[in-house]
Chain A
Amino acid sequence: MRDGIKIAKSGMPVVSLVTEDFWPQGDFVAQSVGMPTVPRVQLPHPVAGTGEARMQEIANNIVEEIVDRFAA
């Protein structure tokens, strides 16, 4: 989240990817650094370690949402 917010503050478009378990933390961080509406997309948890095929599947499932957020 912090990386996404830093990039956003530098003026570049950004969408943060946050897993389900860390979503509340994402809200907290976004709130605490004063950018509560920073764009973010929720991923299932976990992603790391789940294997190439599963990560591909997750990517396929969220790619449109990421593009939509950039286009919004």
Chain B
Amino acid sequence: MSELLEASNEEVALETLHEMGCTDGLPVVIPTEERVERLIIATGLDPDMVLGELGPGMGIATVEKVAVAAVMAGCIPDYMPIVIAAVKAVADPRFDLTEVQATTHCTAPLIIVNGPARFECGPVASGFGALGPGHRANASIGRALRLCLINIGGGKPGVSDMALLGHPGKFTYCLAEDEEASPFPPMHTSLGFDAADSAVTVLGCEAPHSVIYSDNADDPEDAEKLLHVLSIGLANIATNNAILASGTALVVLGPKHASVLERANMNRESVQKRLWELTHLPTADHNRYAGQFSRDFSDETYSAFAEPKNILVMVAGGSGLYSMVMPNWGGAAHANSAVSVEVDNNFFCEVPGLADGTRQL
């Protein structure tokens, strides 16, 4: 059972939460017992059920504590299965959460949603401006995870979260794949799920870097040129992936760029393989710039990523000239791997009083 605080009104409660360092700096919805209870009921789970342990504070993420964060973030009951799956994902040892929270790098967990939960537990936006602002589910689901990392995981800036600057995605970082606009099967099917499953994939990564490419269907090198500029964004020598030669990065293809690859008869696997080849970098550059991270590569080139599967590829955003890449940190025991967890809404319950579609908090 979480500790209960008392306040004379919600304004006082908000100031108290700010003073206690329990917020992300923005106003939060006050997590009253009634509001928290409503989200717990929606999960259909025991409030004391343990979802995982969150470092570096090693706080125990129970359903109740996660519901508190979700209320504060502005979540409605529908979003809870995604929030819970995201918490389970970051608690997975392969995510290296303790180190991800503590590093001086600016990594933040990006939540990618696939499958029917995009609609059933959202809608989670995947088109124009999917990374914000303006999409309620994306904003509040990502924010709920961040508030879990602050209040359960103990990630406080300058104390235990030592990111030198951080990035705006540390407030919230969540989108869905636009499976309908993608020429490829949904990303989660490449990660071991069936298309009918719902899954979240969480990757600790940098802020999105825009990649411009003006495509031309008459150019026989169209796809290769696109892949080349994406590879530069993914692993230029200023990225951790190029310097540490590890980690997992993400390519978010805009639908138009995805169609360039489709025209070249490529699938996700061949795209990943070619990007992996193109992120083989000159060893001389590594030797010149890697400093204390210098490694003894024997060949003239080295690979920024261990395997093609370390370059995730998804489709989202509006259709135009831009895609995005998210390099990542690549440190810690598991090189802060991407982790996928099924979104389980089998236990989801209708909340009394909300059956008419009312979505009040």
Contact = CB atoms under 8 A, between A and B. Distances in A.
Interface of A: 21, 45-46, 48-52, 54
Interface string B314-357: 00001111000000000000000000000000000000000000
Contacts, number: 21
Contacts of B318: 21
The 9 closest A-B pairs by CB, nearest first: A51-B217, A49-B215, A51-B218, A50-B217, A46-B256, A49-B216, A52-B218, A21-B319, A46-B319
B267 interface: no
What's the dominant secondary structure at chain B's contact region? loop
A48 B319 CA distance: 11
A45 B318 CA distance: 11
B320 A46 contact: yes
Interface of B: 214-218, 256, 260, 318-321
Nearest to B257: A49
B218 A48 contact: no
A49 B213 CA distance: 10
B199 to A, nearest CB: 28
Contacts of A48: 214-215, 321
A60 B318 CA distance: 26
Contacts of A21: 318-319
A50 B260 CA distance: 9
A50 B320 CA distance: 12
A50 B319 CA distance: 13
B319 A54 contact: no
Contacts of A46: 256, 319-320
